[in-house]
């Protein structure tokens, strides 16, 4: 993918946008105000709403204070204010793109994937990561490559350190020694602003500073020891609490099992009780009545006779 160059107010900017073959079919508001290419990672200036590529905003719009906008010349803001343009990002995702370098066409989001796969022509010589645009490559080289070597930045330290090793270097004895000397020198200059300083007094002051630092280190070491003891005690208490918690969980599990067993027994008792009640009802229904039924004035009574199927219901009477 090819990227152009543009100049605005003596600021040369490497184009941060995307080149496409069908710019006339796309809304002009989706193009960068600075590089005039299709927006990539759109940013909007707060003062006038101008839309820019993120890289163009970083490299092409100065950070002067008070801030003077390149597009509306607004001078009321003390510094540049910009934010990610989510509206433009949503609009871009619906745009149909024709690749600038081949016959591919598709949506904006797929276009970036296509560029990464087919047109990633820029390779980092340190980590061999590939990029489809110059601005992404430059940003990686300047700020993100973990293998990039850069100077320490501390006055007196001339080492070149990989970005990934910068933290370890800052904690190294060499760096700390230079930092201590520099700090001591600054403190002495503040206490003795005159240009002529007696070397003997300087050595004496350094010794005093060292003694003070050692005393501070001793107090810090004591505090660290106390903190370690507290940590050990807290760990022991935590383990004790964890053991109790495990015991409680085990007891809870056993109680749950006992409750489940009790519920099953209770259910069985209820089923047996229901069955017994049913049997009692059946027995009551099958008994003869205890009191005879008087039918006439001659004291004649009739008793019910249970009959089986196909049997004759023979009536009989008893005279008392």
- The CATH number for 58's domain is 3.30.40.10
262 domain-assigned: no
Poorest-confidence range of 112-116, 120-124, 273-277? Answer: 120-124
d(CA 180, CA 214): 13
90 domain-assigned: yes
236 domain-assigned: no
HSE, side-chain direction, 13 A CA sphere, residue 96: 4
Return the pLDDT at 13.
Answer: 42
Return the pLDDT at 309.
Answer: 54
d(CA 40, CA 108): 10
With both helix axes pointing from N to C terminus, report the angle between 173-191 and 199-286 in degrees, rounded to the nearest 10: 120
Quick one: pLDDT band at residue 122, thresholds 50, 70, 90?
confident
The alpha carbon of residue 311 and the mean position of all alpha carbons in its chain are separated, in whole angstroms, by 88
47 domain-assigned: yes
d(CA 243, CA 235): 12
CA distances from 128 to 2, 114, 147, 198 (A): 20, 19, 10, 55
Taking only the tens place, the pLDDT of each residue in 26-71 is 999 999 988 899 999 999 988 888 899 988 888 888 887 777 788 8
What is the number of structural domains in the chain? 1
255 domain-assigned: no
144 domain-assigned: no
Residue 96 structural domain? 5-114
Nearest alpha carbon to residue 23 among 136, 100, 86, 89: 100
59 domain-assigned: yes
% of the chain at pLDDT higher than 70: 77
39 domain-assigned: yes
pTM for this predicted structure: 0.45
The alpha carbon of residue 47 and the mean position of all alpha carbons in its chain are separated, in whole angstroms, by 32
């Amino acid at each position: 993918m090819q990227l152009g160059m543009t100049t605005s107010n003596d600021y040369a900017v490497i184009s941060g946008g995307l080149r496409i073959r069908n710019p006339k079919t796309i809304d002009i508001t989706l193009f960068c105000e600075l590089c005039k290419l299709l927006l990539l990672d759109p940013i909007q200036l707060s003062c006038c709403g101008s839309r820019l590529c993120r890289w163009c905003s970083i490299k092409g719009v100065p950070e002067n204070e008070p801030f003077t906008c390149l597009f509306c010349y607004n001078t009321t803001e003390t510094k540049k204010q910009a934010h990610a343009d989510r509206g433009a990002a949503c609009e871009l995702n619906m745009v149909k793109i024709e690749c600038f370098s081949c016959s591919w066409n598709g949506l904006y989001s797929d276009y970036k994937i296509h560029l990464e796969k087919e047109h990633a022509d820029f390779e980092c010589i340190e980590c061999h990561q590939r990029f489809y645009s110059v601005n992404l490559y430059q940003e990686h080289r300047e700020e993100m490559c973990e293998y990039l070597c850069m100077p320490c930045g501390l006055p007196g330290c001339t080492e070149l350190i990989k970005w990934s090793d910068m933290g370890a270097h800052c904690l190294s004895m060499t760096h700390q020694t230079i930092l201590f000397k520099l700090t001591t020198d600054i403190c002495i200059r503040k206490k003795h602003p005159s240009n002529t300083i007696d070397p003997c007094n300087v050595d004496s002051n350094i010794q005093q500073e060292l003694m003070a630092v050692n005393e501070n280190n001793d107090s810090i070491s004591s505090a660290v020891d106390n903190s370690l003891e507290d940590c050990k005690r807290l760990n022991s208490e935590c383990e004790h609490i964890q053991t109790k918690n495990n015991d409680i969980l085990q007891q809870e599990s056993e109680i749950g099992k006992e409750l489940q067993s009790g519920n099953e027994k209770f259910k069985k008792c209820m089923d047996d009780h229901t069955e017994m009640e049913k049997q009692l009802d059946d027995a009551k229904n099958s008994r003869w009545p205890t009191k005879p039924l008087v039918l006439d004035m001659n004291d004649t009574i009739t008793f019910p006779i249970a009959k089986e199927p196909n049997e004759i219901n023979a009536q009989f009477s008893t005279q008392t």
